[in-house]
Amino acid sequence: MSATITQIRDDLWQTRTESPFPGLTTHAYLWRRPSGNILFYSPASDADFDAIEELGGVSAQYLSHLDEAGPMLARVADRFGSRLHAPAAELDAIDRHARVDTPVHAQRHVDENGVDAIPTPGHSDGSTCYLVKGAGGERYLFTGDTMFPAGDGTWSTFLVPGRGSAADLRSSVELLSTVQPDIAISSAFGGDSAIETVDNGRWQQCIAEALATVPS
């Protein structure tokens, strides 16, 4: 197995660290399941495709928001025959890169893959977080860019100038306070890691840290 794809849990793998452009650091995450693997977010290159193939490929890919869209979406679909799930509110932007097979609508629901889609607008209109239950019973929360580790030990938010809404972002982070993950996993991140293992006390602290960064 390639040393550039890292096992996080028995059923969860992290692709290599990539920087699509200066100031942005990302990973994608492969959740392995007997009924078909799911890739959350999008890798910035095809460098880990062989390793992903060794792990069983990809049956479905989930984007949290339009910033993860790019040329690699079509490359993932072509290589693995996967189906793309992405926010319905952002189809125009994402469809420029690849066909969205399953639009994720703006109502919370658990889909046919057991993915709990939680609409969290603010960073973008269609931003969506995804909650799943891992093989060991742990709950993995994929927060996209709604909230993320800032690199200084705290969690943060980012409101894109001219896009999104501070009020929506605040409401979305407050909604996430009601979701108790065991592991929180962002898309973009600062510092060395996009992942933090949290208990309820720490998660509520992460929420407070993120809320403190929402513009007033």
Written as tens digits, the pLDDT of the chain (216 aa) is 445 899 999 999 999 988 766 667 889 999 999 999 999 999 989 999 999 999 999 999 999 999 999 999 999 999 999 999 999 999 999 999 999 999 999 999 999 999 999 999 999 999 999 999 999 999 999 999 999 999 899 999 999 998 989 999 999 999 999 999 999 999 988 878 899 999 999 999 999 999 999 998
Query: Which residue, among 104, 139, 99, 124, has the nearest Cα to 187 in the 3D structure?
Result: 124
Q: Which residues contact 190 (CB under 8 A, 6 or more apart)?
A: 25, 148, 149, 150, 151, 152, 156
Q: What does the DSSP assignment read for 32-59? A: --TT--EEES--SSSTTHHHHHHTT--S
Structure tokens at 56: 């069983």
Q: In the prediction, which pLDDT does 120 show?
A: 98
Q: At what angle do helices 200-211 and 166-176 cross, to 10 degrees?
A: 170
**Can you give the pTM of this predicted structure?**
0.95
Backbone angles phi, psi at 69, to 5 degrees: -80, 145
Distance CA 178, CA 182 (A): 13
Q: In the prediction, which pLDDT does 2 show?
A: 45
Contact between 101 and 80 under an 8 Å Cβ cutoff? The reply is: no
Pairing of strands 183-186, 148-149: unpaired
DSSP H helices in 95-192: 166-176
